Structure 1
Amino acid sequence: MRLTWAQPEDLLAHELVQSAAEGKETADVRERWVAAGGDPEPAVSGAGPVPATPALRALARTLLDELDARPAAPAPDEPDDWDAIVALLAPAPPLPAPGAGLHDRVLGAWTGRAAGCLLGKPVEKIPREGIEEILRATGRWPLDRWFTAVGLPDDVAARWPWNRRSAPTSLEENIDGMPEDDDLNYPILALELLTARGRDFTTDDVAQLWLDLMPAGRSFTAERAAYRNVLDARPVPETATHHNPFREWIGALIRTDVLGWVTPGDVREAARLAWTDARLSHTRNGVYGAMWAAGLASAATVCDDVEQVLDAAGAVVPPGSRLAGALALGRDLGAASDGGEAAVRADLDRLHAAYGDLHWVHVLHNAAVVAYALSAGRGDFTTSVSVAVTAGWDTDSAAATVGGVVGALRGVAGIGEAWTAPLDGRIATSLPGGERRIADLAARTVSLAHAEHPGGVPGTGPTHEGGRS
């Protein structure tokens, strides 16, 4: 049996990279591992091709323990404690109060998140050049609609195989509602958490919710490691660090949109909720990515301009962090782009040159892509999600975040029927209760936002599916 994101021999290879990024001494551990016959190169997918022998696996556990015990270099610009993070932040910018179109915005956000995720699903793990070759071979380059296998030559299909789990339900000829995906499971989980606990939820509440509702097999990377640590009765925040080399990857970023949608215009509160959630499984930039995504979602429910959204969300990211640098690069490139094919290609080349050494699920380059796609897309849904997907890396996650932001800004009508009709207003899930209706999820989200405002949020009742305030 090949256990993805869990085999000690695979974790060690990734931990060598993560520990080095934290300033830990790793050379001696690497030498011992290689001398024993271990592979120091991290697996691209969740597991290496051949499980280790029992002796080698036992050594991997020992070496993981040693790396866990070594102190990281001081990182005053990248703290983990909430109060220390807040001390580094600039004041949150004033934003408009939620208006009469809040319901339409939240409905657009849920719909846009689903559509963006679905667009990126079949090519998750496929690199940029493969995505482009598939699109050219099927007459769909530059990307502006769903992927298809119709007309795809056999040699191209063999060279760039679809995501096997996703392709059967995420290609144009097969779409029938939004298929199950962790990028939608987690927002639904957040909705359940807020329903049960309100904004006073704790990180332990998040852990308990996972145990109650989330199948372990539908967790990946840092979440799978944290799930294991919860079952091993390890306390927070050790759940995020013990044998968890994925602690600065994208997993927490994909979990927090709802935390922003229920705090419209209050990016600092959205970030606090995201920090509480993210610290179960992530540290440093992995946590900041979650805070930033929640800030984007919060601002997008009240702002009318994507640059205003980016300004507001940027205020909840520690300014000296590596994430802040990645976001600045992505946003600067996007702001200067003319949107043409040559310009986008050159900009993505810059992002890949800067961050191409990182694993495709890392938070830094994926967040940079989100910032770039939002800025270069200028609030147009098709352009924004298409750029996020053709950038490569974690295509469904990046496009989901981008789609949620632009969906909130433009409403369902601004997303466009070509993207919304195949969804049929439905999201499949592996959580108890099965399929959800997007309209129901939006209504529950707005109700939670309303409950946190003593005077009520104006206009929280549904109006019509299209349009915005």
Structure 2
Amino acid sequence: MTATAVLPAGPARPRPLRLTWVQPEDLIGHELRQAAEDGRAAAGIERRWRSAGGASAPDRAGASPSPADPALRALAGQLLDELSLLPCPTAADEPTELTAIQEACGQPPPARGARGDDRDLTSRLEAGWLGRAAGCLLGKPVEKLPLSGIRALARSTGNWPLTSWFTELGLDRAVAARHPWNRRSRATSLAENIDGMPEDDDLNYPVLGLLLLERHGHDFRTTDVARLWLDELPAGRTFTAERLAYRNLLDGIEPPRTARHRNPFREWIGAQIRADVFGWTHPGDPGAAAAAAWRDATLSHTANGVYAAMFTAAAVAAGAGGNSEVHDALRAGLAVIPGRSRLARAVRFGIAAAREEPTGTAAGFATVVDRLHAAYGHYHWVHAVPNAALLAAALTHADGDFSGSICRAVSGGWDTDSNGATAGSITGLLAGTPAALPARWTEPLHNRLATTVGGLDGVGFDTLAARTAALARHHPPEAPAP
């Protein structure tokens, strides 16, 4: 997920800096789209916006091409507030309060604890950190590209079905012109350029989560997460729902309202990419991991955005325990989210679609992906629902194999770096040790992570694993209230 600021094109006529992902005229289109997804009757509000000259939400960018006039911006703010008051038909099946979620799920998966001694756990967690980094890095250069572009780039270099890093070596110039790489990632994430793990929000947030637990322990509250962001997370390193929650904090709005106030991205994937650390530190205890992820997620997300975090934390916890296979991990994730929610239905759809295609090779997975895009292509590419379906399908079709899982997750499009990261984390844990991961994925990382968080730039994954394991040894059996 990338945000940018729109700057003047030349020095002759300077214009004010325009921040992205926060302006009402950019948010209203996304909120109208969210209303269509959750069933709110917003047709009248949409007509008023269109008749006033309002534009649709950008498909992939954070802002419309040009700033709105003051009257249109004021109208957008008014309509955002009106949209927030509309009854939501899906709310009964998709609650955000933890007690309601738990009541909808029934009994959580039993805590099984972690297999092996402290050294086994530390090694397993290092594989999880490395797997997350490698999967993220694989997806970085094609983030934001449509599925057709990802396939064309990989085919042009003989890397389809996807089996290794993307590269420009041998790439047809016409294909490159039609489907340009993510410009921020090209210099650091193509095969010929990789030199350590570059900074990415998919790794910044797990590092932040580590600091959160070191400072506040497993009884942290949502307000502790908010304070940590303000202390350690530059605003420019936040995107979509996190940027709006950050803005809301600066405006004096407190959690959990930070997740709801003028935040049309509250069901997108941002909370999911923060969730791994809660699974890593609750090995073998998916229920406790999900409850911890809920307290983090509700700073910026609601409903399906929260479920994505809980699902991921529970699946990661199952893998971190060392007692599960990938299908157990997926079942653990489904067990902690409401079964009638859109996200749970999408996960089940992804699993079923993957099981209907022959496994063992990646070729048949393209058919699975086409089915997923036909079913969920109307969602934004960063929304949690389609990405959860793709993640579950990739893990199922690859049967938990590390290389197969990250390549399938990235080759399916949508939020490529985030899906690659989560798939890599889960299957890295299942692999059990760093040595069990193919060297072609781990050696280019040079045991080095770039990050702006907490003075940890250049930290090694072995160090992160040791600190994570130290936290995993001590956690309370029950989570406190938010």
Superposition TM-score, scaled by structure 1 size = 0.94
Query: Is the Cα contact below 8 Å between 2:138 and 2:420 reproduced in 1?
Result: yes
Supply the AA of the counterpart residue of 1:347: V
State the SS of the aligned residue for 2:87: coil
Q: Does 1:388 align with 2:409?
A: yes
Query: Is the Cα contact below 8 Å between 1:10 and 1:43 reproduced in 2?
Result: no
RMSD: 1.5
* Structure 1 position 218, deviation (Å): 0.7
Query: Is the Cα contact below 8 Å between 1:30 and 1:40 reproduced in 2?
Result: no
Q: Does 1:441 align with 2:441?
A: no
CA distance in 2 between counterparts of 1:40 and 1:324 reads 29
State the SS of the aligned residue for 2:210: helix
State the SS of the aligned residue for 1:404: helix
Query: Is the Cα contact below 8 Å between 1:195 and 1:448 reproduced in 2?
Result: yes
* Structure 1 position 74, deviation (Å): 5.6
* Structure 1 position 453, deviation (Å): 7.4
CA distance in 1 between counterparts of 2:370 and 2:89 reads 31
The match for 1:75 is: 91
* Structure 1 position 81, deviation (Å): 0.8
The match for 2:103 is: 87
Residues 165-223 of structure 1, C-alpha deviations (whole Å, 9 max, x = no match) = 11110111111100000000000000000001111111111111000000101100100
CA distance in 2 between counterparts of 1:423 and 1:341 reads 25
* Structure 1 position 310, deviation (Å): 1.2
Residues 403-438 of structure 1, C-alpha deviations (whole Å, 9 max, x = no match) = 000000102122210000000111111223122211
CA distance in 2 between counterparts of 1:102 and 1:336 reads 35
Residues 235-273 of structure 1, C-alpha deviations (whole Å, 9 max, x = no match) = 211100111000111000010101011001111100100
Range moving further from structure 2, 78-87 or 145-154: 145-154
Residues 90-118 of structure 1, C-alpha deviations (whole Å, 9 max, x = no match) = 32333543122211110100000000000
CA distance in 1 between counterparts of 2:127 and 2:272 reads 19
The match for 2:21 is: 5
Supply the AA of the counterpart residue of 2:144: K
The match for 1:26 is: 42
Superposition TM-score, scaled by structure 2 size = 0.92
Q: 1:126 aligns with which of 123, 142, 145?
A: 145
CA distance in 2 between counterparts of 1:74 and 1:4 reads 29
Q: 1:378 aligns with which of 399, 402, 408?
A: 399
Q: 1:109 aligns with which of 118, 128, 132?
A: 128
Range moving further from structure 2, 66-75 or 389-398: 66-75
CA distance in 1 between counterparts of 2:400 and 2:49 reads 49
* Structure 1 position 3, deviation (Å): 2.1
Query: Is the Cα contact below 8 Å between 2:138 and 2:165 reproduced in 1?
Result: yes
CA distance in 1 between counterparts of 2:100 and 2:51 reads 41
Gaps (5+ residues) in structure 1? Answer: 455-469
Q: Does 1:140 align with 2:159?
A: yes
CA distance in 2 between counterparts of 1:74 and 1:413 reads 46
* Equivalenced residues, count: 454
Identity %: 53
Q: Does 1:427 align with 2:449?
A: yes
Q: 1:16 aligns with which of 32, 36, 56?
A: 32
The match for 1:465 is: none
Supply the AA of the counterpart residue of 1:408: L
Range moving further from structure 2, 104-113 or 89-98: 89-98
* Structure 1 position 71, deviation (Å): 3.2
The match for 2:438 is: 416
Query: Is the Cα contact below 8 Å between 2:362 and 2:404 reproduced in 1?
Result: no
Supply the AA of the counterpart residue of 2:423: V
Residues 370-399 of structure 1, C-alpha deviations (whole Å, 9 max, x = no match) = 111111111211111000011000000001
1:357-376 matches, within 5 Å, as 357-376=378-397
1:26-425 matches, within 5 Å, as 26-73=42-89, 75-94=91-110, 96-100=112-116, 101-302=120-321, 303-339=323-359, 340-410=361-431, 411-425=433-447
CA distance in 2 between counterparts of 1:336 and 1:453 reads 41
Gaps (5+ residues) in structure 2? Answer: 1-16, 478-482
Range moving further from structure 2, 165-174 or 340-349: 340-349
Range moving further from structure 2, 354-363 or 370-379: 370-379
CA distance in 1 between counterparts of 2:68 and 2:189 reads 34
* Structure 1 position 30, deviation (Å): 1.2
CA distance in 1 between counterparts of 2:357 and 2:334 reads 20
CA distance in 1 between counterparts of 2:236 and 2:358 reads 43
* Structure 1 position 341, deviation (Å): 4.7
CA distance in 2 between counterparts of 1:17 and 1:60 reads 14
CA distance in 2 between counterparts of 1:359 and 1:74 reads 19
Query: Is the Cα contact below 8 Å between 1:8 and 1:57 reproduced in 2?
Result: yes
CA distance in 1 between counterparts of 2:29 and 2:476 reads 48
CA distance in 2 between counterparts of 1:43 and 1:9 reads 14
Query: Is the Cα contact below 8 Å between 1:366 and 1:393 reproduced in 2?
Result: yes
State the SS of the aligned residue for 1:44: coil
State the SS of the aligned residue for 1:99: coil
Range moving further from structure 2, 140-149 or 51-60: 51-60
Query: Is the Cα contact below 8 Å between 2:161 and 2:363 reproduced in 1?
Result: no
CA distance in 1 between counterparts of 2:160 and 2:36 reads 39
Query: Is the Cα contact below 8 Å between 1:330 and 1:369 reproduced in 2?
Result: yes
